[in-house]
Chain A
């Protein structure tokens, strides 16, 4: 479903963020994307969500080349890709309900149908009782889960997450990953960028490892007991 074909991305000044990356993510597959800070994880996700364009190579979703997508079509592509941000990027002066409902409002949902879907999404992340709260009154983990609910509320076939557990303690991190697993089990393709190697190894999913813009590992990561 998602395919990278010899994709490179360099920024003005000569910094090479991604260097000839190639991989495929199948429909309904879940994978992790790991690597140190600055290894190119975020850049890779930005290429999928059309925040950035590649300098060379092709990014394809369902065999449609993203470079052929016109600027005016970008919003419609983003509706098919749920994105979860490290700093969750919620609208702080709107309620949890409004935040989660945003993608639905954009797509023209109204009334009961919208309320039903928002409640379903919040139920999946276990925050149904916080519907009327403002994000500022929630804990970091809860805010992150609101972000997840917003990303999945319109049931996108592809889900991207950038360091979703970056600010969470190990238990919360594990819960968050369970949420992603649950979505994956209903057929959503999931790509999670994280540097939490211990968690990744324990989850036993395909892992893509980046180092200085190059793909150095594609497959299961061996779990190493922390010393």
Chain B
């Protein structure tokens, strides 16, 4: 409605149209402007491709680091499965007492598996793998204790520790040992990596924000005359900034897709090398690729950054352009 001329119907509002139709037209207009912005990018291919490439690389690094951490976690979680408590049995303990302890432990609800290794078994094993072989025959008696290996049901370090305390209180157990230090160290390393990745990702994502902001600023400067004319014929700031916001969104979409492609390519490239390494360690480790929801998250983050970058730029620069006169 006109401010100055009461009764002068202005714009499309002059035509009476239904609510549904107006709703459809609203989305249709937005779709049209989105396509128009895409066309704008298409018309300056070299500049657009360069910007998209920079965005793609900036997004690839955080995505790769995320995958790295994810795979690290997978490895470390496979290690925690091995958290195992060794119970060394007092020397001279009668075999039936040891046997009854094994039975008790087997019935314990916190324990997944109990393996009994007698001192003779331990000796044979030691002879076989230590390489001392015949030298061990010179020993008067077998110095190795009986051993019970216990796999806890809950393999988290905290729970394993509690179980350890409980088991070391057993009368026949001389000494219980849980090799937990390396586990906590590994967990600490993983969480440190996670934080490092978060910081690097934050830096790179803010780089994306700045790159989009600056690109949009340049394109606003390029269109200064056009914006002045639009303002002179009555365009609101919101109308003028919309195509730039769509440009930011497109940058985000293409940058995100590019990052996804690069990551996939990199995984494909590394797959055979990694399977060589893991085969040497007799591990059935396989590289985890990006899941569909992670792909969507990457795309969403890219689009939001593109939108935010262009919004920051548009807010500052479009209102600053004022027509200077007829």
Residues on A lying within 8 angstroms of B by beta carbon are 42, 45-46, 49, 51-52, 61-62, 64, 69, 72-73, 75-80, 83-86, 89-91, 102-103, 106-110, 113, 150-151, 154, 157, 160, 162
Contact = CB atoms under 8 A, between A and B. Distances in A.
A108 B13 contact: yes
Interface string B307-319: 0000000000000
Nearest to B324: A51
Contact of B326 (A64, A83, A102): A83
Given A106-B230, A110-B12, A110-B29, A62 B5 contact: yes
Nearest to A162: B326
B3 A49 contact: no
Interface of B is mostly: loop
Contacts of A52: 325
Nearest to B236: A75
A106 B229 contact: no
Contacts of A108: 11-13, 29
A98 to B, nearest CB: 11
A102 B230 contact: yes
By CB atoms of chain A within 10 A, which of B230, B234, B322 has the most? Answer: B234
9 contacts: A46-B326, A49-B232, A80-B2, A86-B326, A103-B234, A107-B10, A110-B28, A113-B12, A154-B11
Contacts of B323: 51
Nearest to A150: B233
Contacts of B166: none
Contact of A78 (B13, B225, B232): B232
A43 to B, nearest CB: 8
B171 interface: no
Given A80-B3, A102-B233, A160 B12 contact: no
A73 B325 contact: no
A9 to B, nearest CB: 12
B175 interface: no
A106 B236 CA distance: 8
A108 B4 CA distance: 19
Interface of B: 2-6, 8, 10-13, 15, 25, 28-29, 225-226, 228-236, 239, 322-326
A51 B233 contact: no
Given A69-B3, A80-B4, A83-B326, 6 more contacts: A49-B232, A51-B232, A51-B324, A103-B234, A106-B235, A110-B28
Contacts of B232: 49, 51, 78, 83, 85, 89
Nearest to B15: A113
A42 B325 CA distance: 8
Contacts of A85: 232, 326
Given A110-B12, A110-B29, A154-B10, A79 B326 contact: no
A106 B235 CA distance: 6
Contacts of A75: 231, 234-236, 239
B29 to A, nearest CB: 7
A160 B230 CA distance: 17
A79 B229 contact: no
Contacts of A151: 233
A86 B326 CA distance: 7
Contacts of A89: 225, 228-229, 232
Nearest to A71: B319
A77 B232 CA distance: 10
A10 B235 CA distance: 28
A78 B234 contact: yes
Contacts of A64: 3-4
A79 B325 contact: no
B229 A91 contact: yes
B258 to A, nearest CB: 28
A91 B226 CA distance: 6
A61 B228 CA distance: 23
Given A91-B229, A103-B234, A106-B233, A80 B324 contact: no
A157 B326 contact: no
Nearest to A103: B233
B268 to A, nearest CB: 43
B71 to A, nearest CB: 50
A1 to B, nearest CB: 9
Contacts of B226: 91
Nearest to B33: A105
Contact of A109 (B5, B12, B28, B233): B12
Contacts of B239: 75, 106
